[in-house]
Amino acid sequence: MKLSVTRHDLPTANPFSIARGTTTTAGIVTIELTHDGTTGIGGAGPSAYYGETVDSVVDVLADLRSAIHGWDDPHAGQHVARTLADEVSDAPATRAAVSTALADLAARDLGVPLYRQWGLDPDAAPRTSYTVGIAEPERMAENARQAVEEGFDILKVKAGTDDDRTRLRAVRDAVPDVTLRVDANCAWDADEAIEQTQWLADRGVEFLEQPVPADDIEALRRVHEDASLPICADESCVTAADVARVADACGVVTVKLMKCGGLWPAIEQIHAAHAHGLDVLLGCMLESNASIAPACHLAPLADYVDLDGALLLATDPYEGVAMPDGRLALSDVRAGTGVRPVRNG
């Protein structure tokens, strides 16, 4: 199997801010795996928070190159996932890049879309939310209004500033009729989070994601037990192995390919969450369609979807699954994950 690796610096459409900081350029790595004349495309959107960078992804791929060169079966996804988990366990975005490219290759080899290869129901995929990053209140209101004009009816609003209520009020006033979700990205302590939850519930917020620091499961549990809206664990629930630990401290867990290490580990985490009675939000980082499109094929297994990572970029060398009005158009995919280079892009 032939591997080719490309690094990209992709500017974001707007400066994208969360509680931890601001991104204006997303470092992305895309890969192509070619076998018997068929090419599968995948990608990594590495996150420094989880210990990866574009450089580390490229380095790990270089280490894997000779092993990948020896691979001869595009349908060995389970075996490859296990091998990568053993050999590069601390490089989840890198594993995700290989996993998504191999899945695209395997489904293209069969001439079917990935979701059909897995027997999943495209009509079961929830609509995606669109994320409104932290900015001045008027700017956030304007971004929300624009997203709703473009057809989105679910917004995820980032919080974790010195004045979240002014910002959230501005967004709510600008788009009174849409579903809002709020993500504090670890910014609050338990007392502040508990104080915020009733206020958020009163404004019809659907759920609150990661109110407290990732490692403080006791704080998460306190907020969950007190809150009148569902609490979602993202940074506190990285892989399937974390699900049991947070199972009585939240109602929803966020699954991302770039956290857990690819499609197989994501399926494992989704099933672990459901087995514990939790709902699943399928999310993403700032990513190219090269890795967003494969994630879309898991959406039928999720209860909520936030796969807008490529929509937040100003440019993307790849097209993926179309998202008219936030609906994942899986049925339009003819083969593989639907990723293809943008023509004349």
Cβ-contact 247, 271 below 8 angstroms: no
Among 113-121, 162-170, 209-217, 270-278, the segment contacting Mg ion (CB under 5 A)? 209-217
| Position among 32, 164, 234, 242 found at the interface with Mg ion (CB under 5 A) | 234
- What's the closest the beta carbon of residue 2 comes to Mg ion, in angstroms? 36
Question: Is there binding between residue 319 and Mg ion (CB under 5 A)?
Answer: no
Nearest distance from residue 185's CB to Mg ion, in Å?
A: 6
Token readout for 24 is 């204006």
Are 318 and 342 a contacting pair, CB within 8 Å?
yes
Q: Which stretch binds Mg ion (CB under 5 A): 56-64, 126-134, 183-191, 214-222?
A: 183-191
Q: Which stretch binds Mg ion (CB under 5 A): 123-131, 133-141, 203-211, 244-252?
A: 203-211
Residue 183 or 316: the one with the smaller Cβ distance to Mg ion is 183
**In the complex, minimum distance from the CB of residue 283 to Mg ion, in angstroms, rounded to a whole number:** 6
Question: Least Å distance between CB 233 and Mg ion?
Answer: 9
Residue 41 CB, shortest distance to Mg ion, in Å, is: 26
- Least distance in Å: CB of 256 to Mg ion? 8
Q: Is 181 in contact with 159 (CB distance < 8 Å)?
A: no
**Which whole-number Å values give the CA distances from 110 to 34, 41, 61, 104, 119, in the listed order?**
14, 15, 26, 10, 13
Closest to Mg ion by CB, 23 vs 38, is 23
Choosing from 164, 183, 242, 308, the residue that interacts with Mg ion (CB under 5 A) is: 183
> What is the token pair recorded at 38?
């068929």
* Alpha helix ranges (H) inside the chain: 54-70, 77-87, 92-110, 114-117, 137-149, 164-174, 190-202, 217-226, 243-246, 257-260, 263-275, 289-296
Q: Angle, nearest 10°, between helix axes 217-226 and 190-202?
A: 30
Chain residue whose CB lies nearest Mg ion: 234
Residue type, 252: V
Q: Which residues bind Mg ion (CB under 5 A)?
A: 183, 209, 234
